[in-house]
Structure 1
Amino acid sequence: MKNKWKTGFFLLLGLIVIIVIILLSLIMIPADEEGKIQQTVPNNKNVSFEVISNKADLNVLINQYIKKEAADSPIEYSVQLQDEVELYGTLPFFSQEVDLKLTFVPKALDNGDLVLKQKSISVGSLPLPVSYVLKFIKENYKLPKGVEIQPNDKIVHVNMQQLKLKSDVKIKVNRFDLIKDDIAFTILVSVE
């Protein structure tokens, strides 16, 4: 009977020693990198945020921006996002004002800019060449900085990095699908 107690004691002692060794080794081994909280330092001078929007909200924002940027323009115009980008305005024609409507198909570029390819045009009921009307708009409408009209190519190029925004915020277009109402931007905020 003495040997059973002696054997049980040494087995229990051995089990306790093994548990203590395992616990000590777990305490002494450094934690893996996943469990650590790491402070990230941006490797560039901007912090970015993705913003998802819709046509209704963007209509308000665009026209507010146009109102401020083109306040001293003699000609008023507005932009409406429907299934295409629609620009409405008036053209002086002799002594009358003629209504103008241009529609564009938008395309987001890889660099974050937006290109508007001219789709249709209506100037009252007069058929005018598209390049002529775009040239007239370029010369007579005060467009915001970063908006460039290329009449011969029938496009409007919106350089998003050049748009004048508050607090040195920059915008890049990620997606601009008006039919699906899928609009996404990256907002870049300077951290300097």
Structure 2
Amino acid sequence: MANEKTETKRNWKQYFLGLFGLNLLVFTTLIVFLMATPPRSDTLPFPQSIDEPGAQFRVESTKADLNELINDYLDQVLLADNADFSIWIDEDVHLTGAFRAFGVPIPLNVRMEPVVQANGDLVLTMTEMSLGLLDLPSNRILHYINQQVETPEWLYFDSENEQLYVAITQIDIQSNFRFSLQELDLTDDRIAFLIKIPRAGAVSAE
């Protein structure tokens, strides 16, 4: 009986050491890869305000409604089996989740400050970022995520400036509608979108 307990203890110790060694190897490889790869940014779109005739409507929302909408949409457009993310909007934008690197899940936590652009797009500036327990520059982490996770065409990684550019005006909502972000006041919970129906689209829909 004592021999069985000793053998079980030895097996658990070997398993722990093996798992620790595997994780250490993964994180070491990841650090070397991140530090050896210079951060590169996507080519950002030129922000344009499209002025065309048609009807337009202002739609107001709340942070609670926007959280639900974003996460439902995120499940549909995040084209990756190796990543699982969720977004929570409070006083800022908080992204949490994990993606797999070398077969090991690595937690990701990001806090971002949103700034509405004049044309209705959105820029998210990184204020905090952590990748597992690694203390690495945010620009390299952003670059790595951009390389590993397939994201929608309207999401641009400005890794060098530690920002994400969300081209809201480019999002395809499978209709003739165009929409843009008009107001995003997270402190007072005032969020508004501008929805526009181009005149040509309105005519073709009749």
Q: Scaled by the length of structure 2, what TM-score is found?
A: 0.67
* Moved beyond 4 Å, runs of 4+: none
After superposition, the Cα gap between the structure-2 partners of 1:79 and 1:129, relative to the gap in structure 1 and judged at 3 Å, is: same
Report whether the alignment pairs 1:131 with 2:139: yes
Counterparts of 1:45-84 in structure 2 under 5 Å? 45-84=53-92
Q: Which amino acid aligns with 1:146?
A: W
Counterparts of 1:35-184 in structure 2 under 5 Å? 44-184=52-192
In terms of mean alpha carbon deviation, does 117-126 or 101-110 score higher?
Answer: 117-126
SS, match of residue 112 in structure 1: coil
Q: How many pairs are equivalent? A: 150
Q: Which amino acid aligns with 2:138?
A: V
The offset of 1:183, in angstroms, is 0.9
| Sequence identity (%) | 29
Alignment partners' CA distance in 1, 2:113 and 2:99: 22
The offset of 1:135, in angstroms, is 0.5
Residues 160 and 170, structure 1, Cα contact 8 Å, conserved in 2: no
Q: Scaled by the length of structure 1, what TM-score is found?
A: 0.72
What do you get for the CA RMSD once the two structures are aligned? 1.8
Residues 115 and 156, structure 1, Cα contact 8 Å, conserved in 2: yes
After superposition, the Cα gap between the structure-2 partners of 1:72 and 1:120, relative to the gap in structure 1 and judged at 3 Å, is: closer
Larger radius of gyration: 1
Provide, for residues 5-30 of structure 1, a one-character-per-residue CA deviation record: whole Å limited to 9, x for no partner. xxxxxxxxxxxxxxxxxxxxxxxxxx
The offset of 1:94, in angstroms, is 4.3
Counterparts of 1:8-47 in structure 2 under 5 Å? 44-47=52-55
Q: Which runs of 5+ in 1 are unaligned?
A: 1-42
